[in-house]
Structure 1
Amino acid sequence: MNHWLTAPILIPLLGGILQTFMGYAPIPLRRTLAVATTVLLVAASFILLSLATDDAYRVYAFGNWQPPFGIVLVLDRLAALMLVMTSVLALFCHIYSLGGADQGNRQFHTLFLFQLMGLNIAFLTGDLFNLFVAFEVLLIASYGLLMHGGGTVRTVPGLHYVVLNLAGSAIFLISVGMIYSVTGTLNMADLAVKVPQVADENLNIVQAGGMMLLVVFALKAAILPLCFWLPKAYGNATAPVAALFAVMTKVGIYAIIRVYLLVFGDNAGPLANLGMDWLFPLALITLAMGVIGALGANNLRSLIAWQVIISVGTLLAPIALGSQAGISAALFYMLSTTWTVGGLFLVANLIAGQRGGAADYIITAPKMHHRRLLGVLFMLGAVAAAGLPPLSGFLGKVLILKSVDSGVPMAWLWGVLLVGSFLTILAYSRAGSIVFWRTIDGHVDARESLSGTTAVAAALLTALSVVIVALANPINAYTEATAAQLLDTSAYLEILKAPMAGEEN
């Protein structure tokens, strides 16, 4: 067993525990230790990424219990990609928070690190029940982060977020209980073996459990009609929290990829491709709904929150079709859109701080301070988000369009994605022209000074869309190999035979 698999969990766990007992320590010390913890997490994630490139599955069994018993962590290409994507995003969000966003709550860094721990457990776990535990850990931390800063403007959307996710957790428990009652296991590899063998009289129970599980993941991913909680929740959160939350919907998407390709994939017998017929049209409708919301947004943060929903629909459409090229393209686009949206949330907050009372509302106002710098950053983020060349969003969407074979699905995907992209360009053009160009005479007092810490963090996260373009070939090669590994489910089943500590290979 490779102990490196525990690093993405132990690093934020120990860092969070340390922060818990440092609530009254000087804030520079707390900040230094928090960022150092995130830097270590980034380093550990890249080490695991390098390990995963050999296409082998690595297993860590807590207590040295042979799978499917006990708690099992599994590292493959997909898990490593999600770990890197999350840790890099978290690092820039954490650095941005040092500009003052972490004040007002002594346990901000504790909650931040515990949320990272929950995310990493979700990406590494090989068991459905432990996936539920991971969801609860990251959701409990996210409740506190969402309320960070206080005020009714955050309390009401936060309450909706809490209630919906509590309902989702209850459905999650019921669904895994139904599946366990028939199969006797919740280990994903073991489920992939036993689900095709389910007797006819129990088939409806497993099918119902699988569909309920898909509803839970759809709620986490914010698929229509389970997406209306997101714009207000994300739009009213503090900037580093909203930016980190850009990865939260990807947890639901990750769970759909992992469970419904492995457990309910092509080899699942009568339950093969469970729910995928529903997922494709819902993804396209979600994309369309996100575009409509973006066109009607009255402030930048709401516009970017609707962009999260647009990206969810764009990601799930090729995933639902199930081809290797489609999954590869979706993973490439996922990396791009997560970092782009995170950067846009940070930039939008910088803009709000330089426009006085106008904040980030899409209304005419006197010229803001640092207009050129912020205009360039917003333009880069908008171009990448809308999918214009030459930035990473364009490459991701081109790969998605190329991944679809000729037929009715191709017509629908091309039509909705291209029209949606055009209207998204209009939404960002409208917002940018009003905020940066249609100014009126007058003086505006900046509500916040533009500190070097916040500006650098926002600029570097936004610039990752350029880095992805520069590294497009190796990233695309990695996502193609990841898609191939995901579709070769027989290799995943070998973890059931993985030797434990003290055993010979």
Structure 2
Amino acid sequence: MPDVILSFWLQHAPVLSVLLPSFTAMGLLLLGDFGGMSGLGGGHDNPRVRWRRRLSLASVLLGAVMAAGLVWRADSGELLVYPLGEWPAPFGIVLVLDRLSGLMVLLTYLVAAPALWYATGGWDARGRHFHAIFHFQLMGLCGAFLTGDLFNLFVFFEVLLISSYVLLLHGLGRDRLRTGFHYVVLNLAGSGLFLIGLAMLYAVTGTLNMVDMGQRVAQLTGDSAHIAGAAALVLLVVFGLKAALVPLSFWLPGTYASASAPVAALFAIMTKVGVYSIIRTHWGIFGADAGEASLVAQSWLLPMALTTSVLGVLGALASHTMGRLVAYLTVSSVGTILAGVGLFTPETLSAALYYTLHSTIVIAGLFLLVELMAAQRGEALDKLRPAVAVREPVLLGLMMIFGAASAAGLPPLPGFLGKLMVLQSSAGLAAQPWVWTVVLLAGFFSIIGLARAGVIVFWHVQPDASEPGAASGSSLKLLSAAWAFMAITVALAVMASPVKRYTDAAAHQLADKAAYANAVLGEQGGAQAVTTRPYDGSRGAAPAGKEVK
């Protein structure tokens, strides 16, 4: 029986990663969501609540195991193509598992598991159907990372966005309603632009399969090439809005700061969907070998990325609440990531992927830590002004120091390693002075902003311990979720070498378009695996050659 299960999973791994959260969400809806709970920590004696939480957590843990299996399988160099309905590409819809998609699915679950565990401390009780919507969001995220079709990327975008609308408003509140309205309107506008970009590309290529489109774009000339280039810039606007790329980042600080802590932690992966989509389109379709449309976004992407990093850290310095500070650090980290992407070399892309892992985990953990501190500061909550002393200054202070050092990029934590990789990979390139200046200054000002917050929270205190919230410490469950993010951060530093080898191979695999074309567009009767020649660690172009199994 175990062999049968393993064989079944190996054959259907990509689609199972999408179906698991989908079926879990539907099961949770059938289970119902009643109990009338309110407040953190409430409802633990309700059997229906306990089963709902157990099913939700079990599904996320199983999904994390499956995601680790995806990375293990992708690390062999396989390009696993899963044709839905047995319809071959480019006519049918395919899911594609490679090193990059496997890595992003695993990152999704590394964020989702601690965030959901934190939510079961009581946040899931402040509104209806939290767990079902949470899993629909996971379905959209996994589908977006695994799809090989641009239209279905749009479909999964809509699934995760609709889920995020509900999660953002979970628990209600004036700030959530106000920022939620802006968030919905902006994303609806982005969805409209997405369809316009897809229509323009379909008009000149006749396909929406990413690999097939990449081949056809390279053959376009004249007006058709110009239309394709314009469509690429439209998609850059769409994905830049999702990633919070300047000047499209104005929505993020208020939105993330107003969301509940576990939702904000999960949203840390949302901006990476935009980053991932930029990589897929502007590396895979409009890369260096796209003919007249080659690197159409290069002159825009790098300057916008560097500006995003600068404005993000300046926003963190000017923030008056800890939630907004962390949200602005999210914007700044996106700028650093896209700077590596925008340099368009495998080495800088690899460094950007490593930094993506670090920044997502650290930002998610900081959102949880902010609420843990705010809950002990009385009426001040997360406002950066003098308030009552927190109940656990040593414990929360050490956690704050660790989170600040990680976010700012101090050695030997992975933030330092990720930024060092970005700096090293950009050495010798024309943009090196700009990249080095922005990355180093962003790190320096991040330290100042986080140190300022720490001084206000832990040193500028009022001698009044009678306010609500100052009399009790954090529960072990809530603390353990934040500790989980800290543990993952440490693991990224300890395992930096194998993780970097993986991101190196992922970046070079993306450049091996012949293997993608052979896997996706070849004749398939089921899932087909194509193995690229292992990356030998040398700089330069991706290794040529492939072995078809």
Common fold: TM-score over 0.5: yes
1:423 and 2:445 are equivalent in the alignment: yes
Report deviation, 1:330.
0.4
Give the distance between the partners of 1:237 and 1:498, measured in 2 at CA: 47
Matches of 1:37 and 1:175, distance apart in 2: 36
Displacement of 1:491 in angstroms is: 1.4
The alpha-carbon deviation at position 2 of structure 1 amounts to: 2.3
Matched, 1:68 2:77: no
User: Equivalent residue for 1:11?
Assistant: 20
Match of 2:338 in 1: 316
**Superposed displacement of residue 499, structure 1:** 2.2
Letter in 2 for 1:248: M
Partner residue, 2:402: 380
Question: Is 1:143 aligned with 2:165?
Answer: yes
- The answer to whether the Cα contact below 8 Å between 1:102 and 1:109 also exists between their aligned partners in 2 is yes
Q: Which runs of 5+ in 2 are unaligned?
A: 1-9, 35-47, 529-547
The aligned amino acid for 1:465 is T
Counterpart residue identity of residue 20, structure 2: I
Deviation at 1:129, TM superposition (A): 0.2
Report the secondary structure of 2:125's partner residue: coil
RMSD of the TM alignment (CA)? 1.5
SS where residue 102 of structure 1 aligns? Answer: helix
Cα deviation code 1:100-127 (max 9, x no counterpart) = 0111222100110000000000000000
CA contact (8 A) 1:315 1:330 kept: yes
Residue 237 in 1 paired to residue 259 in 2? Answer: yes
Amino acid at match of 1:497: G
Does residue 200 of the first structure (1) align with residue 222 of the second (2)? yes
Provide the rounded CA distance (Å) in 2 between the counterparts of 1:398 and 1:353.
Answer: 36
1:284 aligns with: 306
Among 62, 87, 93, the residue aligned to 1:40: 62
Deviations 1:392-427 (A, max 9, x none): 101000000001133541000111111111111000
Residue deviations 1:428-484 (CA, integer Å, cap 9, x gap): 000001101222312143177521111101111123211111111110110111111
Q: How many Å separate the matches in 1 of 2:417 and 2:527?
A: 47
Q: Please point out which of 484, 488, 491 is paired with 2:508.
A: 484
- The answer as to whether partners of 2:220 and 2:291 remain within 8 angstroms in 1 is no
- Unpaired runs of at least 5, structure 1: none
Report the equivalent of 1:105.
Answer: 127
* Matched ranges for 1:327-406 at <5 A: 327-406=349-428
Q: How many residues align?
A: 505
User: 1:8 is matched by which residue type in structure 2?
Assistant: S
How is 1:112-131 mapped onto 2 (pairs within 5 angstroms)?
A: 112-131=134-153
Contact 2:392 2:473 in 1 (8 A): no
Aligned to 1:445: 468
Hey, what does 2:112 align to over in structure 1? Answer: 90
How far apart, CA to CA, are the structure 2 residues paired with 1:429 and 1:263?
A: 43
Q: Give the equivalent residue in structure 2 for 1:191.
A: 213
| Superposed displacement of residue 498, structure 1 | 4.7
What is residue 30 of structure 2 aligned with on the other side?
21
SS of the aligned residue for 1:197 comes to coil
Partner of 1:413: 435
> Where in structure 2 are the equivalents of 1:296-311 lying within 5 Å?
296-311=318-333
Contact 1:344 1:462 in 2 (8 A): no
Kept in 2, the 8 Å contact 1:172–1:216? The answer is yes
Q: Which amino acid aligns with 1:486?
A: L
Paired AA for residue 29 in structure 2: T
Aligned to 1:215: 237
Structure 2 length-normalised TM: 0.90
Report Cα offsets for 1:343-366 as digits up to 9, x if no partner: 000010111111111111111122
Question: Which residue of structure 2 lines up, in the alignment, with residue 497 of structure 1?
Answer: 522
* 1: CA distance, partners of 2:516 / 2:397: 47
Aligned 8 A contact 2:310 2:442 in 1: yes
Q: Matches of 2:260 and 2:182 in 1, distance apart?
A: 17
Structure 1 counterpart of 2:65, which letter?
A: A
Q: CA deviation at 1:24?
A: 3.5
Structure 2 residue aligned with 1:181:
203
- Mapped to 2, the partners of 1:202 and 1:67 lie a distance apart of 23
2:511 maps to amino acid: L
Identity %: 44
Q: Kindly state the Cα deviation for residue 209 of structure 1 after the two structures are TM-superposed.
A: 1.1
- Distance in structure 1 (CA, Å) of the matches to 2:323 and 2:111: 18
- For the pair 1:270 / 2:292, whether they are aligned, the reply is yes
Q: What is the SS of the residue equivalent to 1:2? A: helix
Deviation at 1:502, TM superposition (A): 10
Distance in 2 (alpha carbons) for counterparts of 1:279 and 1:469:
29
Instruction: Check conservation: 1:7, 1:41, Cα contact below 8 A.
Output: no
Of stretches 316-325 and 121-130 in structure 1, the one that deviates more from structure 2 is 316-325
Higher alpha-carbon deviation: 125-134 or 417-426: 417-426
Alignment partner, residue 81 of structure 1? 103
Query: Is 1:293 paired with 2:315?
Result: yes
**What is the DSSP-based 3-state SS (H/G/I as helix, E as strand, rest coil) of the residue aligned with 1:57?**
strand
Separation in 2, partners of 1:350, 1:415: 34
Query: 1:500 Cα shift?
Result: 1.4
In the alignment, structure 1 residue 456 sits paired with structure 2 residue 480 = yes
Letter matched to residue 152 of structure 1: R
TM-score (norm 1): 0.98
* Residue pair 1:2, 1:59 contacting (<8 A) in 2 also: no
Q: Does 1:256 align with 2:265?
A: no
SS in 1 for 2:412: coil
**Given residue 469 of structure 2, which amino acid in structure 1 is its aligned partner?**
A
Higher helix share: 1
